Structures are given as structure tokens and as C-alpha cells.
Amino acid sequence: MKWLWLGWLVCVITAGLLGYMALVETPALSALLGGMTVPDAKPLGHDEEATRALYAAFQADAARAGAEGRQSASAAYVAMHARSDLVFPPLLAASLGFLAFASVYAGRRLAEPSRAVSIGIGLVLALAFTYLACDFLENAVADAMYGPEAMTAGFNTSLVFVLQVLTRGKYITLALAAVLIVALWVGRWKGPRQPAAPDT
């Protein structure tokens, strides 16, 4: 099908953006924070002790940044959520949905998608939207906890558990979606097939 190349292009762009965030932006932030990991990059999230330590690291860097006349890690963290991490979640959600559909429609496809396959695709879509909600909410809560305004407002204990739940929810939904996508592709190669319909 002609439209499939657009889906593969979205997957490539998503992978490239993930690489940039993981290899450039996140390490740069961690370096400013003395090597500490930001919530986005820790699958189990931070408990209260780790969250307080991270908040203290953001505060210490904010003080140094003011003295040195540079952007603080706190401001850079919020800026990342407003740029790359604003675009990445919908791209990843779209990629998950596409990979589920591609297991049926790419190349030689299943003779007729079974009920189980249809349910699997539906579950992947539901998980993709759940991931999207978790990621955006996680970013909003993280900004409220570690953004420049929070550096003067003080540590917000009430948000620690919320952020941890959202971070875990994000990674759990991604893991479940990945397992289902692998299962769909395994089923694709094991099930009966027919040549794909000619392009129109």
C-alpha cells in the first residue's frame, strides 16, 4: 500500500529524535546536575528521597547559573519539554499504531485478519494513547516540580507520588505495546498469507 512509506518515515524520524534526546539533551542536563538522572529517563521514577536530592541539584545549579550568567538546568529542562519532548510523544504514539497496522498490511499480508489480531491492534492503539497522556502529564508535573518557578517556591512533596506513577505508567504502557507489536508480527509470519493487493 502506498501510504505505508509515510509510516516508516515517521518511525525513522521518531528513532532519530529519540537518539538526539537520549545522547545529547539528557546527558547535557545530567552533567549540570552532577550526573543525576532526570525523571523522564528513569523507568521506575524517583522516590521521595531521590526526588529531594534531584530538586537540591536543580537548586544548586540554578544558583551557579545565576552567578555564571548562563541558562540553568531547570530552564533547560522546561525548554526541552517545550521543544523536542513536545514533539516526541505524539510521534512515538503514531509509530506504535503504525507498527501494529503494518503487521497486517505491509508486503504480504494475512489472508484475513483474525479477531485476535484486530483486538491486538486495538489494544496497541489504546496503550499508545495512554502512553501519550502519561508522557504529557509527566512533563507538566516535572515542570511544576523542577521548573525555574519551583526553585523559589520550594519542594512540593504532594507531587512526588504523582510523578512517579506517571513515569511508571509511561514505561509500562510502552512495554506492553511493544510486546503486543512483537506478537502481531510473529503472528503475521506464522499465519496464512496472500499477496498484498496491488497499489491503486
Tens of pLDDT along 5-31? 899 999 999 999 999 999 999 999 999
Q: Report the pLDDT value the prediction gives residue 114, as an integer from 0 to 100.
A: 79
* Sequence ranges of the domains in the chain: 4-194
Looking at the chain, the whole-number percentage of residues with pLDDT higher than 90 is 76
Q: Report the pLDDT value the prediction gives residue 191, as an integer from 0 to 100.
A: 60
The pLDDT tens digits of the residues spanning 78-107 come to 999 999 999 999 999 999 999 999 988 776
Give dist(CA 59, CA 146) in Å, integer.
9
> How sure is the predictor about 77, in pLDDT bands with cuts at 50, 70 and 90?
very high
Q: Report the pLDDT value the prediction gives residue 200, as an integer from 0 to 100.
A: 42
Q: Note every long-range contact of 147-151, with CB atoms under 8 Å and residues 24 or more positions apart, other chains counting.
A: 147/74, 147/75, 147/77, 147/78, 148/62, 148/72, 148/74, 148/75, 148/78, 150/55, 150/58, 150/74, 151/58, 151/59, 151/62, 151/72, 151/74
φ/ψ of residue 2, rounded to 5: -65, -30
Q: Report the pLDDT value the prediction gives residue 117, as an integer from 0 to 100.
A: 87
> Is the pLDDT score of 112 beyond 80?
no
> Is the pLDDT score of 126 beyond 70?
yes
Q: Report the pLDDT value the prediction gives residue 110, as an integer from 0 to 100.
A: 47
Residues 6+ apart with CB under 8 A from 148: 62, 72, 74, 75, 78
> How sure is the predictor about 1, in pLDDT bands with cuts at 50, 70 and 90?
low
For residues 62-77, give the mean pLDDT. 95
> Is the pLDDT score of 60 beyond 70?
yes
> Is the pLDDT score of 198 beyond 60?
no
Query: Picking from 40-49, 64-73, 111-120, which range would have the lowest pLDDT averaged per residue?
Result: 111-120
> Is the pLDDT score of 50 beyond 90?
yes
Q: Report the pLDDT value the prediction gives residue 109, as an integer from 0 to 100.
A: 52
